[in-house]
A and B are shown apart, each in its own frame.
Chain A
Amino acid sequence: MPRQAKRPQGSESGALLDIRNLRIEATVYPPGEDPRDIVIVDDVSLTLTKGKVLGLIGESGAGKSTIGLSSMGYGRGGVRITGGQVILNGRDILKGGQKGFRQLRGREVCYVAQSAAAAFNPAHRLMRQVIEASLKHGVFSRAEAEKRAIALFKELSLPDPEHIGDRYPHQVSGGQLQRVMTAMALCSKPDLIVFDEPTTALDVTTQIDVLAAIKKAIRDTGVAALYITHDLAVVAQVADDIMVLRHGKKVEKGDTRQIIKEPREQYTGALVSVHEIPHEEHKPAEPILSVKNVTAAYGGGQVKVLKNVSVDLSAGQTLAVVGESGSGKSTLARAITGLLPPMEGSIVFDGRPLPPRLGDRKKNDLRELQMIYQMADVAMNPRQTVGTIIGRPIQFYFGLKGRKRDEMVRELLDKIEMGSGFFDRYPAELSGGQKQRVCIARALAAKPKLIICDEVTSALDPLVANGILKLLLNLQQEENVAYLFITHDLATVKSIADSIAVMYRGSVVRYGPRSEVLTPPFDAYTDLLLSSVPEMEIGWLEKAISGRRMESAGN
């Protein structure tokens, strides 16, 4: 691809980006203490040659986004680059000042953010935003830029590439918007693109298309890329090399094959084998919950989101409900809990029919049917201590007060492997995994027979999520509680479910014991769903795309 002659060329070694001993700090303001500096990134070095893709991987707080943004000299939210060099195209960009940064950003380095919906300006048409950087830097005339943008839309297999640029951001789907943003990044022909978790917010079936489009675009344009993600299986599909980070320090760096096949460090090994939890499938037994022909709708019957859904859940077992967003899985939970009374059908719980409306249910019905939410930090009152949060159900359902209640709270805290030292903490003082554990304890405090788990691990880092799943399985054995496990993550389902219901557009398309549901022959949708789950294997992406029988939404 012809580049403009005026641009500075890379150094002799061919290194496009050379980060040396990078150190990044920020000032934190802890309540009741003096402000202090913390180190976010500590002594990290990396090099990237033209046309290569480096994957940055680690849990949240590992500093991977911060490193990615440092390649364009940017520190998010008061973060300061305090040491090291960032050498791009043979010059240290940290010495260029604000003017240098402006020449660089959108020209030599472009950025693809995690949430395309939040990154686009909703008031402007897509085309205007896609070509903005190219026009600002005078790379192309408007006509040339639009021509290039349309070519890129085609390259990224967006529908109707000639006219999609005339739409506003809310008029295209999430997966399409993510691809438009990739086109925006590629438009000014940069040397380097930073992809910051570009597929994390997408459904698995959409993720695979975006991933394939990004990979093809990188290959065809010869651009170099930093690919930031917490999902090792995803990065294995696109990266040539992988760098594993933890607490702002490098853990391990190597080529993709070495990292996923022969990890040297223990932490990398844990990341590779994160989805493996041993779990024996139980045979179906006496059902604790029977959902029979339930139909539910929003807007007074206008929008039907559940159509004639029937599933059974055996006592002490796990039923996983899987499907992409909008398939009606969370609505099923709302129908069962009575938050959205079904229009038709019945719900039988422990041998007795449940009144459809929440207000008509008895206290004991409510007690035996508990719920755990996806976002643990908004599922707990930020003004109550852990002791109050867990203690309230005990007091409310069993009338226990004072020392007796506190004793039970402490027992529960031990059960969730946290210990009674957390009794007086507020939710804001807990980590993400600890918050979810407290929510589990709150549900258990009611001594329920069924817990509805709504995407309980989706917001957590893989290793933390793994810990939560193991805890849930242990508690199931001890307390003989049944789980209705709502998730879009098939890897989770494979590790914990006894039976599975696959939902698609409000209907259950496949239902049965885990071994049967996961055994061919599949229906078209289950096949698409199963084949879209990234596997930790090089070349999986190409195989999955070519083997598909059904197009995913928005393609």
Chain B
Amino acid sequence: MLDIRRIPPTALLGIIITALYILVAIFTPWIAPYSDTAVVGDVWAPGSAAHWLGTDNLGRDLLTRLLYGARITLFIAALATALSFTLGASLGFTAAVVGGWFDELLSRFIDLIMSIPTLIFALVVLSVLPADTLILILVMGILDSTRVFRISRAVAVDINVMDFVEAAKLRGEGKLWIIFREILPNALSPLVAELGLRFIFAILFLSALSFLGLGVQPPASDWGGMVKENKDGIVFGVPAALLPAAAISILAISVNLVADWILNRTTDLKGGRGNA
């Protein structure tokens, strides 16, 4: 049903670039020219036929590092986002449907967590816990789920008072049916748009953590870490730190373009088949 001619050019650009990133992340080991930890040349060598983008502060191939960085960054951000949505949306929907003291308790608890700046919270937790990828994903996912909780609860509260939900309650349906069959399909559009934005925030958050030394640990490469490793080169006129930064911002813009388009579409979706 989705006609490619009907997608606005900005959204199309966003989709293409995002898809490219994902493809690169999946096929990195096959397309990367070198190993991501091998020292293959001089420190901060300029671009050449052997090393298209030059080398980094230890003499590793920058293009290879960028490609592997995409793989790790996208992998962690995707899992963290998936966790935050599963957790946040199911808690948010349950709070809206059950209501009463359960909703009150959960909402105030979430408020409590949200009142602490996320980055500081994460820094404290991560500096105490052992540095490994699973813990990183868990901390990012749980902290992000507070935001998802807020939006899913707000959407579900609106839907929960509609007559068709009341009709389901009168029929005697259980909470699970009401949450997953009556509310979820109608809350999907705003949540999908939110998904894109949260994914971007996860990447930015991960990059910030890595830059501060608490994210992905060396020698594995990720973009935030690469900016940190190469930042001293900037004073010598070496652009090695700017390339991973650019990779982050281009991905952020592309995903935003797609999310914007999805969000716009939700306003003219009146249910049914919609425009998709």
Contacts and interface: CB of A to CB of B under 8 A. Distances in A.
Interface of A: 29, 31-32, 337, 339, 358, 361, 363, 366-367, 370-371, 373, 375, 378-384, 392-393, 396, 426-429, 442, 446
Contacts of A367: 172
A427 B181 CA distance: 16
Contact of B163 (A32, A358, A373, A446): A373
Given A378-B162, A378-B164, A383 B271 contact: yes
B3 A32 contact: yes
Interface in B150-170: 162-164, 166-167, 169-170
A32 B185 CA distance: 20
25 contacts: A29-B268, A31-B272, A31-B274, A31-B275, A32-B1, A339-B166, A358-B170, A361-B172, A366-B171, A371-B167, A371-B170, A373-B163, A378-B163, A378-B164, A379-B167, A380-B164, A381-B185, A382-B272, A383-B186, A392-B171, A396-B172, A426-B271, A426-B273, A428-B270, A446-B171
A262 B268 CA distance: 45
Contacts of B270: 382, 428
B173 interface: yes
A363 B171 CA distance: 8
Given A32-B1, A381-B164, A381-B186, A426 B272 contact: yes
Interface in B248-276: 268, 270-275
B11 to A, nearest CB: 17
Contacts of A380: 164
Contacts of A379: 163-164, 167
A107 to B, nearest CB: 36
A382 B183 CA distance: 10
A383 B167 contact: no
Given A32-B275, A429-B272, A393 B185 contact: no
B229 interface: no
A237 B186 CA distance: 45
Contacts, number: 67
Contacts of B166: 339
Nearest to B5: A34
B182 interface: yes
A326 to B, nearest CB: 20
B147 to A, nearest CB: 25
A339 B165 CA distance: 12
A381 B172 contact: no
Contacts of A339: 166, 169-170
Given A373-B163, A379-B163, A427 B171 contact: no
Contacts of B170: 337, 339, 358, 366, 370-371
Interface in B52-82: none
A95 B121 CA distance: 66
A427 B1 CA distance: 19
A373 B162 CA distance: 11
Contact of A363 (B172, B185, B268): B172
A393 B273 contact: no
B208 to A, nearest CB: 38
A337 to B, nearest CB: 6
A100 to B, nearest CB: 33
Contacts of A31: 1, 272-275
Given A366-B172, A381-B185, A383-B186, A428 B167 contact: no
Contacts of B268: 29
A450 to B, nearest CB: 12
Contacts of B273: 31-32, 426, 428-429
Interface in B212-232: none
A428 B3 contact: no
Contact of A373 (B167, B172, B173): B167
A3 to B, nearest CB: 46
Contacts of A396: 171-173
Closest 5 CB pairs of A and B: A382-B271, A426-B272, A428-B272, A383-B185, A379-B163
Contacts of A378: 162-164
